[in-house]
Amino acid sequence: HASMEVEVRVMPYADNQFLLIARDVTQLTKLERMRKDFVANVSHELKTPLTVMQGYLEMLDEPELLPAKQLHKAIHDMTAQTARMQNMVNQLLELSRIESSGPDSFTEEVDMAALIRSCVHDVSLLNSEKQHRIEVSLDEHLSVYGSADKLRAVVMNLLTNAIKYSPAGGTINLTWQRRHLAAAFSISDTGPGIEPEHLSRLTERFYRIDADRNSATGGTGLGLSIVKHALEHHRSRLQIDSKVGQGSRFSFVVPAELIVQAKADAT
Ligand code: ADP
Higher pLDDT, 86 or 210: 86
End-to-end CA distance of the chain: 62
Verify whether ligand 1 is closer than 6 Å to residue 241 (CB atom). Answer: no
Smallest CA-to-CA distance from 91 within 203, 232, 225 is with 225
Verify whether ligand 1 is closer than 6 Å to residue 228 (CB atom). Answer: no
- d(CA 160, CA 156) in angstroms, rounded, equals 6
Smallest CA-to-CA distance from 95 within 237, 239, 220, 241 is with 220
Ligand 1 atom with least separation from CA of 222: 6
Interval 223-250: pLDDT, tens: 999 999 999 999 999 999 999 999 999 9
Rounded to 5°, the CA angle 4-10-13 comes to 135
What ipTM score was computed for the predicted complex, to two decimals?
A: 0.98
Interval 100-159: pLDDT, tens: 886 666 778 999 999 999 999 999 999 999 999 999 999 999 999 999 999 999 999 999
- What pTM value is reported for the model? 0.82
Q: Report the DSSP pairing between strands 17-24 and 133-138.
A: unpaired
pLDDT for the residue numbered 134: 98
Verify whether ligand 1 is closer than 6 Å to residue 91 (CB atom). Answer: no
What DSSP string describes 98-139? HHHS------SEEEHHHHHHHHHHHTHHHHHHH--EEEEEE-
